[in-house]
Structure 1
């Protein structure tokens, strides 16, 4: 199939199928790569996400200000390094996470990755759509279910349309909304500091709750570790691995860490972490809604894009568009049935079972593909050693959370990397990549 620049909806004359200029199942060619600024804007727009503040709100009252900064720094560093590694692989291969999984898990094994990543992102899409409906109803004191449902449907249509137009649509939404959101966030930060007498007053606030350091770091890592696993969906447009690493650092180390910090400050000064609710408390309902819609619109468009490319891989189709639409409809139905009321349990599930998948992909790339994927190479149907590595690493991450030892996402990632490298060296017939030559 041709990979030349063709508009959405243009059929390939050789196959009759729609050509998608976002290349959901093929490597992004060099002529379609984007500038560093463009990739950084998209990733920063992805992570400047107000619900992340709720994680910070749980941390703020549990630590002194100095220890709070240490928790956020350590958690953000772990998250940033992991996502940067995933982003680097995405830029080098030009492939989405789910298509990269074909070379790691096999063409049939990759369907597990598509179902896992695409399915969980549909659920997250529903969580965000439901949150918009509930917060809008709270702003206007609506009690009618119909009013909340109408808001959910309308906002879902906007998000779906943005993702339908792909990378370009997400870039422009992020470019316009992210600066406005950051201006509002820093303005609320200034008001928060006024409430407590500046930075010195903030530092004097004594903890009122308790939380183990490891649990706190896990909370920071868990905010975006699942979405970060799909960073290659966007970094594959970067012109080099170095640009991808820096773009991931800006988005996941700086952007996500900032949102956790702002949520912690909001909880310490106003009693709520989400700055949308702070603006509501200050009587600035209009600006609160601007922050709410602008922020969640761009972030959920990225989510719709993620399950769109996962669907394209799952069904071996060259276009993400029908899967963006179908997933958005399903996510909206979930929102209308109240999926957002189970947010905490859902985040724990994501943070446990998705990071090991990224660890397997990273480890396999280091062992076999760092010299490049040979042209014309066809992966086998199943790579049992990689599937076993994922299963064991996921079990270790889950056990870590159950017994309260260590940081589950970190244990899942590290154990997956080690296991896939070790198994790949001892299982016959697995060292077939360019790196093994």
Structure 2
């Protein structure tokens, strides 16, 4: 793809990332791992751990995270090959104006996570330190704007924070898992714990996959910086299969041993309250900055502006407002929304790239794209509808139906056009 290296923003919100700006696989891995180390992911693991025996829980977490990692890795591969993020890929999949639909959906879900994380930080800090409850709202404002600082800087800011935070969190998690295993009486003790709630296997896998599928769909914001498709795939799998898998495993351990899913509550139960506060802060900051960064990238495409830093601050303001309004209480319906309407976006992008563009996009600057890609929009609608009504693993169903629908409709439309062209040439 021909690409211009001239841009007003070194994070290239509206253009392909040039070869000269590509990052190492280690750099991307740290950023993506910091992104996937998130409290809500542990909550999902805890819900699974409370409903199944230990061995079944491990299989569910393995399958759910493998599906999530594969989904994110395919999008990561496309991003590395094209240098484009999800918002820009959506222009090919849904059209110049049609892509604004995915911009809104992706941006809204990311800022929803930002609001939830901001509220969580303030509420738990007050609870764990005994601060006056009247400080909760002011703390939401402080954290709401404070968390966006590294995102305001850009990829470099995210990278620097993650290089410090990720190793620290891994050490804390390893210590906590060791204590939990000992408290449970070893692996045999874990295997003897009786589940305390009920959940179907399909619902459990949906929970694991759907909790972070919005992040997986927008991981392209970093994998587009990869030097090769292979590097992008490895970094993405490291984050969304191994990293996210570790977070869900921690939540499952906590639910089994302490009836707590969040790593912070687990550390408090283990008598490590001070480390719990540190873990909470690092855990949320390395995800918060990534989510508001995602919002900014989607916002730049929606508004066709390169003022990424301005959009970042606006996103932080919206997220802070939602936190103050009570986003903390909306988590479960929010997760259902994510698991239903986000995955079909990725399914359409995949099919569009491999079926229509045969693995190589035309140059974005010199290609005239339609205002609406009707095929992509129809495929997205079908994928979302089937996912919403499915009793199976809704996110997986959404991806497969959207991708298959796009491929089938695109092939039929292509065949009809060829036939008409042949008929006209014979006249």
TM-score > 0.5 by shorter chain: yes
Provide the residue aligned with 2:58 in structure 1: 69
State the distance in 2 between where 1:246 and 1:202 align. 32
Structure 2 Cα separation of the partners of residues 72 and 351 of structure 1: 16
Residue 322 of structure 2 corresponds to residue 322 of structure 1: no
Q: Which residue of 2 aligns with 1:354?
A: 342
Alignment of 1:246-325 (within 5 A): 246-325=234-313
Match for residue 394 of structure 1 among 384, 387, 399: 384
What is the alpha-carbon distance in structure 1 between the residues aligned to residue 137 and residue 383 of structure 2?
40
Q: CA RMSD in A?
A: 1.7
Distance 1:144 1:253 in 2: 38
2:162 to 163, 171, 174: 174
| Matched-pair contact (CA < 8 Å) for 1:368–1:431 | no
SS across alignment from 2:147: helix
Residue by residue over 1:329-350, the C-alpha shift from the partner in whole angstroms, topping out at 9 and shown as x without a partner, is: 0110110111111111101101
- Write the distance in 1 (CA, Å) between the matches of 2:338 and 2:199: 21
User: In the comparison of the two structures, how many residue pairs are matched?
Assistant: 414
State which of 88, 97, 112 in structure 1 corresponds to 2:77. 88
Kept in 1: contact 2:109–2:214 (CA 8 A): no
Asked whether the 8 Å contact 2:49–2:253 carries over to 1, the reply is yes
One of 33, 36, 39 as aligned partner of 2:22: 33
State how far apart, in whole Å, the 1-side matches of 2:328 and 2:417 are: 44
1:372-383 paired onto structure 2 within 5 Å = 372-375=360-363, 376-383=366-373
Rounded Cα–Cα distance in structure 2 between residues aligned with 1:370 and 1:192 = 50
Query: Structure 2 CA distance, aligned partners of 1:86 and 1:130?
Result: 30
Q: Residue 190 of structure 1 corresponds to which residue in structure 2?
A: 178
4+ residue runs of structure 1 moved beyond 4 angstroms?
Answer: 2-5, 428-432
> Which is further off, 346-355 or 133-142?
133-142
- Deviation for aligned residue 1:51: 2.4
TM-score w.r.t. structure 2 length? 0.94
Paired with 1:149 and 1:274, the residues of 2 have a C-alpha distance of: 22
Q: Which 10-residue stretch deviates more, 276-285 or 41-50? A: 276-285
Equivalent residues of 1:196, 1:202 under 8 A apart: yes
How far off is 1:3 after superposition? 5.1
Contiguous gaps of at least 5 residues in structure 2? 419-427
Q: 2:88 maps to which residue? A: 99
Q: Deviations over 1:240-275 (max 9, x none)?
A: 111111111100000001110111111111110111
Contact kept in structure 2, 1:424 and 1:431, CA below 8 Å: no
Three-state SS of the structure 2 residue aligned to 1:78 is helix
Q: Are the structure 2 counterparts of residues 362 and 140 from structure 1 closer, same or farther at C-alpha, using a change threshold of 3 Å? A: same
Q: Which of 392, 398, 403 is equivalent to 1:412?
A: 398
2:109 matched to which residue of 1?
A: 120
Match of 2:352 among 364, 386, 396: 364
Aligned equivalents of 2:416 and 2:236: distance in 1?
A: 30
* Contact 1:363/1:418, CA 8 A, preserved across alignment: yes
Which of these residues, 155, 161, 167, is aligned with residue 143 of structure 2? 155
Matching residue of 2:422: none
Q: Does 1:215 align with 2:209?
A: no
Q: In the alignment, what sits opposite 1:425? A: 411
1:79 aligns with 2:79: no
Q: Matched residues in 2 for 1:298 and 1:65: separation? A: 29
Q: Is the Cα–Cα contact under 8 Å of residues 68 and 213 in structure 2 kept in the other structure?
A: yes
1:319 Cα deviation from its structure 2 partner: 2.8
Task: Give the C-alpha shift of residue 384 in structure 1.
Answer: 0.7
| Partner of residue 16, structure 1 | none
SS in structure 2 at match of 1:22: coil
Q: Deviations over 1:363-408 (max 9, x none)?
A: 11110224422332221111111101101110110111xxxx2100
Contact 2:179 2:270 (C-alpha < 8 Å) held by counterparts? no
Aligned equivalents of 2:308 and 2:368: distance in 1?
22
Which runs of no fewer than 5 residues in structure 1 stay unpaired? 6-11, 13-18, 433-437
Q: 2:10 aligns with which of 4, 10, 21?
A: 21
Could you tell me how far apart the structure 2 residues matched to 1:277 and 1:371 are? 46
Contact 1:425 1:431 in 2 (8 A): no
1:234 counterpart residue number: 222
How big is each residue's C-alpha offset from its partner over 1:145-176, in whole Å with a ceiling of 9 and x where there is no partner? Answer: 3x112222222222211111111111111110
Aligned-partner Cα distance in 2 for 1:249–1:114: 24
TM-score by structure 1 length? 0.92
User: Matches of 1:116 and 1:206 in 2, distance apart?
Assistant: 40
**Residues of 2 paired with 1:88 and 1:335: CA distance?**
34
